[in-house]
Amino acid sequence: MKTSNVQFDNGAINAATGEEENSDHQFLTVHEVAKLLQVPVSWVYGHLRERSSQPLPGYRVGKYWRFREQEIIAWVQCHKRGSHAA
């Protein structure tokens, strides 16, 4: 059974239970990480390979990968090569 979340300014509400969810416990999928980083899904998978020089922080759950948004953002901050401010 798939549940959906409703986003409010103060957090997400689980549509199935009506309870507020702590964003620290929510995981992103490969597709969500690709959308967050504005890169192809294949780029995300490429950075999950063991031979990648800069692997993304993720968790293997069976055949699936899951990510914490805060860890992905921290990874980006750590790996940015320079500021491209306009």
pLDDT at 40: 97
pLDDT at 62: 96
Over its C-alpha atoms, the chain yields an Rg (Å, rounded) of 15
Which single residue is written with the structure tokens 């959906």? 4
Q: Are 37 and 76 in contact (CB under 8 A)?
A: yes
pLDDT in tens, 67-86: 999 999 999 999 887 555 44
pLDDT at 53: 87
Q: pLDDT grade, residue 3 (50/70/90)?
A: very low
pTM of the entire predicted model? 0.66
3-state class of 74 per DSSP? Answer: helix
pLDDT in tens, 22-34: 556 789 999 999 9
Of 40, 22, 21, 20, whose CA–CA distance to 30 is shortest?
40
